[in-house]
Amino acid sequence: MAACENRGPGFREGIMIHNTPRSGLLGPRSGLLGRHWIDLLRPQDRAIFRPSLTIDIGAATGAGPTAISAFDAALCALGAGNANLIRLSSVIPPRAVLRRGRGASEPVPWGDRLYCVYAVQHASGVGATAAAGIGWALRDDGSGAGLFVEHEAETTDEVSAQIHASLGEMVGNRPEDFGPVRLCTTETRSEGAPVCALVMAAYQNIPWNSGTTRGSGGARR
């Protein structure tokens, strides 16, 4: 059972959209100023938003004879089963766009390094439950910057409460203003064998021995 909130301004059909004005600015003599001058005149933290990174968010569950195999099954369901995971510390960089789906837009190529934020919880034994979730809040300046937080527990209700508590404190530690908290959570129940609940935010993947980076679905950049 997976759920992801996608209500509110700027979040449509699972895609986080940031609208920024693109109208020109009148100069004193020569009519519209060029975009170069608009960028110079606009405060840096209100700069025109040009997306540079798409972060794919997805949730999955897995089961197997061991906890590791259950985790692998969940990773494969998200298209990240063949990736070497590099876990990040939950800061969303400026000019990012968040996209809700089933994880990576395409399976990550074999062996690529995948930069990601994830929450994972395991359970085993008949009736035991595992829940995981990621929450996020974006700065309200239209920059695309924000914060992720990940939590694990036995139920999604517990996960949601922990996410709201953590993000509430984290945004309070910063001088910027933030928008509402969004969530993506999942929960699973064991029938006896080990199970895994996994939620991942995939930033980008990079092949070995190459300076080329790819989006989380494998597209070259």
Per-residue pLDDT of 26-55, as tens digits, reads 344 434 434 443 343 344 444 455 668 999
Q: What is the mean pLDDT of residues 138-155?
A: 97
Q: Are residues 37 and 71 in the same domain?
A: no
Q: Are residues 130 and 34 in the same domain?
A: no
Q: Are residues 58 and 44 in the same domain?
A: no
Q: What is the pLDDT of residue 26?
A: 37
The pTM score is 0.75
Q: Are residues 27 and 79 in the same domain?
A: no
- Nearest to residue 103, comparing CAs of 196, 213, 202, 204? 202
Residues comprising the chain, all counted: 221
Q: Percent of the chain at pLDDT above 90? A: 67
Q: Are residues 92 and 185 in the same domain?
A: yes
Out of 5, 31, 48, a domain closes at 48
Q: What is the mean pLDDT of residues 137-161?
A: 97
Out of 48, 67, 88, a domain closes at 48
- Per the structure, the count of domains in the chain is 2
In a domain, 161, yes or no: yes
Rg of the chain's alpha carbons, rounded to an integer?
20
Q: What is the pLDDT of residue 150?
A: 98
In a domain, 23, yes or no: yes
Q: Supply the mean pLDDT for the chain.
A: 81
In a domain, 13, yes or no: no
Q: Are residues 83 and 110 in the same domain?
A: yes
In a domain, 112, yes or no: yes
Q: How far apart are CA 121 and CA 29, in angstroms?
A: 63
Q: Are residues 156 and 101 in the same domain?
A: yes
Neighbouring C-beta atoms of residue 86, cutoff 10 Å: 12
Q: Which residues are catalytic?
A: 84, 89-90, 150
Helices marked H in 20-148: 35-41, 67-77
Tokens 């199970």 sit on residue: 195
Q: 56 phi and psi, to 5 degrees?
A: -90, 130
Q: How far apart are CA 200 and CA 30, in angstroms?
A: 50
Q: Are residues 24 and 115 in the same domain?
A: no
Q: Is the pLDDT of residue 5 over 50?
A: yes
Q: Are residues 29 and 72 in the same domain?
A: no
Domain range for 180: 49-207
